[in-house]
Structure 1
């Protein structure tokens, strides 16, 4: 065996990410390495070094491209790959995606099949495990009988090759990487995983010679730690430097996890029993190299299809496909280790006689796991909120096809949003094609798919809010099982605030449908309680701190803040507008101060280019509802977020409520732009056009959604809604909307109505109908704006009411007066005259009286009102 090192031996390749054509689905695949050498696109080529490379090296681009295969992806993103070079001999290269550069690390002079390889962080050591082919063993003069070998190569520069193991079973090698900014030199640590079902950690010391040369210091046996034995499955998590493995027990098996640290120590983090029987299972490995071609199909690829996924929010899931070679239903389990329960899914297949289940692939998309069966189905499983089946997007047929991918092998997820096609060794970055997803949203007829798509887009793509709103404007009536406006407001608010504090994502609502009873076609789900992991470490850092907090929270009672929980208090507040609750000065001051903070914190007023004419008015009704929501939400968060200060909680509450109001303003703004409504529509002149009718309908839907959520509406909303109602509806329908609560009268609307409309017969009818429906708080401020008999009657009625209420309060305190001599046959009117006479006699001594109004005029008003009530006279 002879090795050659040539600096820049590979001519610089020009990788370019290209998007493969994908029809009727929402997953785009971008190849990370696209070969382009010497004007020949997508073909690799080796350029020999004049100083050190042999003259016989003359690889063809076609041969190199055909044998190109990805082997390992390191923690820093470097990709190790192999190809057949001179005379079909294997070479090992490294691609750095950050620098877009390729580097030749090593090549062999014998025909071997490379199983796994790994380079240390400093790029000074290369570990390789390989298999000698049958033809090669027959011609080797000193063949010892063992086919598998693991070696350690010094590559700075290439000097010595040290044999780690020579055995008759396959091995995998993997260097540990330190955290960013931490350099582990001069010692490296190498994991060795053997098909003999054991895992050990080798510690390798290196020294520098002649300034730059790095050589291995301990040339003898390396110190080793035995990590585990009797292992039947293992997975390497490169980003987190974690090793998951399963050891079978009598009736089940146990999942273990080992966390490796920058220095030479490691810790067993947890163990959890699994209801999976694997006692006779051959060793299965994930993210630890690949099988030799001679060994493929001999049990490894048909072995255990199981993988563990983690995400930045503390989620830890295990997904497992039941080993049926061909079935009419695919059974797969998702064990949510951070939740303590498991979902067992059953998905129907369309080609039960031809689809082997060993091609079922898992694709990691942060808080989602995609289960992909080629030409069959694509199931997006929500691991963050697995309790709701309606957030799992399940597609079949042409919608689930991923064109351009091999249908005969699995796709392996190396890390989040990255996948490896095992049969070709190509590395893909995986992303969601939002345009195709929005297209599916428009053409689907199922509420379960609409809700799943809305939830995915709103929680992961804030820049698409306007497009979602445009879809909502055209499809408000198509959703029967949920309200898209409620989902938009709640999900968008949840996305922003779920990362503000620990556990906040578990306390705020994330959906408008906490219960879902509809079935999803072609898939069923059974939920069972399972054991939670038993942690073996005392201190938690990084991911494990978040994971531990998830486990601790699952042990206590959980309660989210749902808007509907405030409905009882909401109705009580409305019904007690002028009762003792309102007279509580402290409560009233707190509510008003809270609402003032919310309004000042709204971002809507900073946008001077808005099209919808939302005024900066403050409606008293919604101000009080804002204050109530803040009080309830603050109490809820203070009860559970004991580690968060009061000022921080108060700021979260203010931001949360103001964010929801801003979202309502955004819906209105997008609607006005969508239908190109003229801002002059905010007036009473002229008739409404079709666009204004659409806007009025959308605002009615917003009001209905806010009412069901017990949520206030932003300042100026009711006034704009009322003006559109006058323009769009006949008077009878408009008044019916006011009486039924769809429209709420505001002071700004009444002032605008009285000032802009003259007193012709039609307008007088409108004004009279409105002023008779005004709440007392508004009426006492605006009745003087209209010089009309109706207003005068209201003034008189108000005055009499005040006098009667004051007289009733003092009736027991004042001496009784002589009854008037004049009597009328109608007893109610006679009693009223008597009361008015008593008031008139004490007018000069009444400390509450400030106005000088003739009693005879009051008697005249009383007679007229009584006659109207009896039907003897028209008003």
Structure 2
């Protein structure tokens, strides 16, 4: 299954055995009252009531006399604790305990059993009580009304001493929310209600709302205000002290006028009241630490053939409305849609029909989200009972009393890649694995293995490109929340292919209006996201266009013998040195690589690496305000190193798979099928990086060229070289000149290679080949250098014509001219590091070449 549910708490396994043991101990002791007869035999009354911020779980149960009791399960110690017992037959609507476990707030209604009355407060439907439970002292009535009430203690983060007050929220079915301030004092080592607690101070937090959601982890209250003509979403943040702040208001284009009253995450709720709630309406809000704000909404069913649900991506400035086909009429809809928060994703599923994994960080393209229909096995394996997303990865199944921690299943998603599936599913799974993988190194290795086995399996995108871009992005994404606006996360910019079973409508929405001016933590990140949507007029994603232009400029200057400031070039190469050093340091902690890379000074690739570091650093410095320069420099270094590392690992995986060895760098052997396979992988890597203008690790082109010489016929090899697929490096050609003998076939190959070399490299390589053809090329270059600025001068009389023994007048005259130039301008004489090239050398080379052409 795509979702992996790990049980954190099971009411029947973690609480029931303790309750049975309690009953047995009290029964055996013949005790009367207290916990005697703690639970009736059928255990049907045992149910979860609430999950507090610290993870503690409150549950309720009845003894065989109908008395209602409250228990607490401590998630840290894995121990149960009895909190309190009401010796009355009551039904619990809501319950909460303060963080010190000294105060219990509970809302109760009279028993549904015929003939029983609410003896605590006659004439009222719902009674809300505040109970001192440690030590047991008194019970205070907070409310006694005819409407239902829910309670929730606040759990502020306090760094110093405990606060002198507890704060309790009271939520009324009459559409208002109050906050009670309960002063507490220290007595006998326990925190209890103050002696003068006859009149608790309270204040109105919200009113005239129809829907509210409690975020226990972040202590936030979301509610929808219906006072005005439109649906207005508001959020209140509760602070460490008694203060609370209205953080934002945001209009929602939905209708809740006939939806009744609904609460989310305020405990389980009173079961008898569930029939009053709309059966299929679903609305919830999810946030994460990156500053996202998503409102998920599914209205009542209009048709049994399809279902509609919307997600308002406020941090992106638009909403997406999805319409999913329900398919077979033989599988009727018995439950509503379930929304689950999975950090970077939202899971939307309807048991037995579909499962949709929505990418909330990058929701632009539908192919970044995974949509599976009911025919998939993964759907049938998901829980069919309603799940409530609490905070983080916690979800609660109210029916079974199980608390789950939900993860995306890596093994299941990896299997998706290997099965024949459409490109959009492969794309979605790839991103999902990289963003949610708990072991990135393992996940990347599995994806690389899949790529090496399925290099041509995708038609709509290049898997190598997508993997390199996405994995490099996620490797530094946690460093700052603004990375999704500054770095590319996908190689695919548009996606027009429809996904069967689902349609999509995207609309712009009005952004939330922030009501405060000082932001911290999550709110600072949300505000930054909103500012980006409001004020960003251009696309800020980094691209290599500037690097492309600068790199081509430097290469052109190198060819013409010109080069800008040495300091500038040295800084660029120093950037590359740091990246390569960082990359080699990564290799030391992993398995040593057998691929023969990093064994040469590939100046062109080093220039490209250094330029990318420089441009990317400037890009991030411009747009990452408030981030230290050293941190940005390290992020850039890690990003570029990661990019090269991924390329090396793709090549390494193919190298090990085909069991190649470093001796493939020699030319005294025929190519094998394994070398053909690795050459193909390297060619695909080159294609993937070239269109994005990404650097390659030094040594890549040398290895690629040598494999090309092994694997390709001469005409194909030259075609690859002429079209830039194979780049001739000095190292590769040097090996070729040294390792190949001078057979007719090899001579043709060597000459074809030499004439295609850049002049500077060609001059060096020709000296390594002791052959008339090489001498001819050296002579041509020497003559070209001497004659490029030659102006005819009167013949010098000092030339000794008797030294030319061959009576070939055109050649004699030409050699005399060269000798005259050499003797008159020694600055033009010879090539650097090769003093034997002179007019005499040219004469001998010309005669040898003529003899060879004439077959003499």
Per the TM superposition, whether the score is higher than 0.5 is yes
> Which secondary structure does the structure 2 equivalent of 1:296 belong to?
helix
Q: 2:676 aligns with which of 674, 693, 703?
A: 693
C-alpha distance in 2 between matches for 1:874 and 1:243: 96
- The Cα shift of 1:859 comes to 5.8
Choose 637-646 or 236-245, whichever is displaced more. Answer: 637-646
Equivalent residue for 2:277?
300
Structure 1 residues 360, 400: CA separation in 2 closer, same or farther (over 3 Å shift)?
farther
Trace 1:764-843 onto structure 2 (pairs within 5 A): 764-805=747-788, 807-808=789-790, 811=791, 837-843=816-822
Structure 1 residues 831, 164: CA separation in 2 closer, same or farther (over 3 Å shift)?
farther
Indicate yes or no: 2:37 matched with 1:58.
yes
Equivalent residue for 1:21?
none
Structure 1 residues 167, 737: CA separation in 2 closer, same or farther (over 3 Å shift)?
same
Indicate yes or no: 2:208 matched with 1:212.
no
Structure 1 residues 608, 354: CA separation in 2 closer, same or farther (over 3 Å shift)?
closer
Structure 1 residues 742, 230: CA separation in 2 closer, same or farther (over 3 Å shift)?
same
C-alpha distance in 2 between matches for 1:132 and 1:866: 117
- The Cα shift of 1:306 comes to 0.5
Choose 841-850 or 446-455, whichever is displaced more. Answer: 841-850
Q: Structure 1: 5+ residue runs without aligned partners?
A: 1-24, 823-828
Indicate yes or no: 2:425 matched with 1:449.
yes
Choose 242-251 or 831-840, whichever is displaced more. Answer: 831-840
Equivalent residue for 1:255?
233
Q: What per-residue deviation string (whole Å, max 9, x for no partner) do you get for residues 753-772 of structure 1?
A: 33333334444443333333
> Which secondary structure does the structure 1 equivalent of 2:22 belong to?
coil
> Which secondary structure does the structure 2 equivalent of 1:123 belong to?
coil
> Which secondary structure does the structure 2 equivalent of 1:277 belong to?
coil
C-alpha distance in 2 between matches for 1:422 and 1:277: 27
C-alpha distance in 2 between matches for 1:38 and 1:625: 60
Equivalent residue for 2:71?
93
Indicate yes or no: 2:460 matched with 1:481.
yes
Structure 1 residues 190, 250: CA separation in 2 closer, same or farther (over 3 Å shift)?
closer
> Which secondary structure does the structure 1 equivalent of 2:209 belong to?
coil
Indicate yes or no: 2:88 matched with 1:110.
yes
Q: What per-residue deviation string (whole Å, max 9, x for no partner) do you get for residues 180-218 of structure 1?
A: 645534310000000000001000112233443623434
Q: What per-residue deviation string (whole Å, max 9, x for no partner) do you get for residues 411-459 of structure 1?
A: 2101121112233342211111111111112114211000000011112
Equivalent residue for 1:652?
635
- The Cα shift of 1:406 comes to 5.3
Whether the 8 Å CA contact 1:43–1:62 is kept in 2: the answer is: no
Whether the 8 Å CA contact 1:323–1:357 is kept in 2: the answer is: no
Equivalent residue for 2:535?
556
C-alpha distance in 2 between matches for 1:287 and 1:501: 30
Indicate yes or no: 2:366 matched with 1:360.
no
Whether the 8 Å CA contact 1:90–1:107 is kept in 2: the answer is: yes
Whether the 8 Å CA contact 1:34–1:42 is kept in 2: the answer is: no
Structure 1 residues 26, 577: CA separation in 2 closer, same or farther (over 3 Å shift)?
same
Matched residues, number? 833
Equivalent residue for 1:430?
406
Whether the 8 Å CA contact 2:785–2:828 is kept in 1: the answer is: no
Trace 1:254-653 onto structure 2 (pairs within 5 A): 254-297=232-275, 299-302=276-279, 304-324=281-301, 326-351=303-328, 355-356=332-333, 359-399=336-376, 401-403=378-380, 407=384, 409-461=385-437, 462=440, 463-501=442-480, 503-557=482-536, 558-563=539-544, 566-569=547-550, 571=552, 577-579=558-560, 582-603=563-584, 606=588, 609-653=592-636
> Which secondary structure does the structure 2 equivalent of 1:848 belong to?
helix
C-alpha distance in 2 between matches for 1:490 and 1:535: 34
C-alpha distance in 1 between matches for 2:15 and 2:484: 53
Equivalent residue for 2:804?
none
> Which secondary structure does the structure 2 equivalent of 1:439 belong to?
helix
Q: What per-residue deviation string (whole Å, max 9, x for no partner) do you get for residues 198-242 of structure 1?
A: 001000112233443623434312111101111100000011000
C-alpha distance in 2 between matches for 1:450 and 1:560: 24
Structure 1 residues 118, 38: CA separation in 2 closer, same or farther (over 3 Å shift)?
closer
C-alpha distance in 1 between matches for 2:628 and 2:159: 33
C-alpha distance in 2 between matches for 1:485 and 1:751: 31
- The Cα shift of 1:573 comes to 5.1
Choose 218-227 or 761-770, whichever is displaced more. Answer: 761-770
Structure 1 residues 213, 767: CA separation in 2 closer, same or farther (over 3 Å shift)?
closer
Whether the 8 Å CA contact 2:58–2:71 is kept in 1: the answer is: yes
Structure 1 residues 178, 617: CA separation in 2 closer, same or farther (over 3 Å shift)?
same
Equivalent residue for 2:731?
748
Q: What per-residue deviation string (whole Å, max 9, x for no partner) do you get for residues 776-825 of structure 1?
A: 232233322221112211221221121122x34xx4xx8666999x9xxx
> Which secondary structure does the structure 2 equivalent of 1:686 belong to?
coil
Whether the 8 Å CA contact 2:5–2:406 is kept in 1: the answer is: yes
Superposed CA RMSD in Å reads 3.2
C-alpha distance in 2 between matches for 1:663 and 1:128: 57
Structure 1 residues 583, 289: CA separation in 2 closer, same or farther (over 3 Å shift)?
closer
C-alpha distance in 2 between matches for 1:781 and 1:180: 73
Q: What per-residue deviation string (whole Å, max 9, x for no partner) do you get for residues 526-559 of structure 1?
A: 1111111111112111211111121122223241
C-alpha distance in 2 between matches for 1:532 and 1:835: 82
Q: Structure 2: 5+ residue runs without aligned partners?
A: 802-807, 831-835
C-alpha distance in 1 between matches for 2:522 and 2:474: 20
Q: What per-residue deviation string (whole Å, max 9, x for no partner) do you get for residues 353-398 of structure 1?
A: 8644851000110011001101011111111111121111001124
C-alpha distance in 1 between matches for 2:752 and 2:22: 89
> Which secondary structure does the structure 2 equivalent of 1:67 belong to?
coil
C-alpha distance in 2 between matches for 1:296 and 1:816: 113
Equivalent residue for 1:710?
693
> Which secondary structure does the structure 2 equivalent of 1:525 belong to?
strand
Choose 136-145 or 556-565, whichever is displaced more. Answer: 136-145
Structure 1 residues 731, 290: CA separation in 2 closer, same or farther (over 3 Å shift)?
same
Structure 1 residues 840, 758: CA separation in 2 closer, same or farther (over 3 Å shift)?
closer
Q: 1:858 aligns with which of 814, 826, 842?
A: 842
Structure 1 residues 222, 379: CA separation in 2 closer, same or farther (over 3 Å shift)?
same
> TM-score scaled by structure 2?
0.90
C-alpha distance in 2 between matches for 1:59 and 1:642: 61
Choose 591-600 or 111-120, whichever is displaced more. Answer: 591-600
Whether the 8 Å CA contact 2:822–2:829 is kept in 1: the answer is: no
Equivalent residue for 1:28?
4
- The Cα shift of 1:501 comes to 3.8
- The Cα shift of 1:645 comes to 5.0
Choose 834-843 or 465-474, whichever is displaced more. Answer: 834-843
- The Cα shift of 1:632 comes to 2.8
C-alpha distance in 1 between matches for 2:358 and 2:550: 37
Indicate yes or no: 2:710 matched with 1:724.
no
Q: What per-residue deviation string (whole Å, max 9, x for no partner) do you get for residues 546-605 of structure 1?
A: 111211222232410123565455555555542476355454333323322322222355
Q: What per-residue deviation string (whole Å, max 9, x for no partner) do you get for residues 815-863 of structure 1?
A: 666999x9xxxxxx99999776554334322141444766466367569
> TM-score scaled by structure 1?
0.88
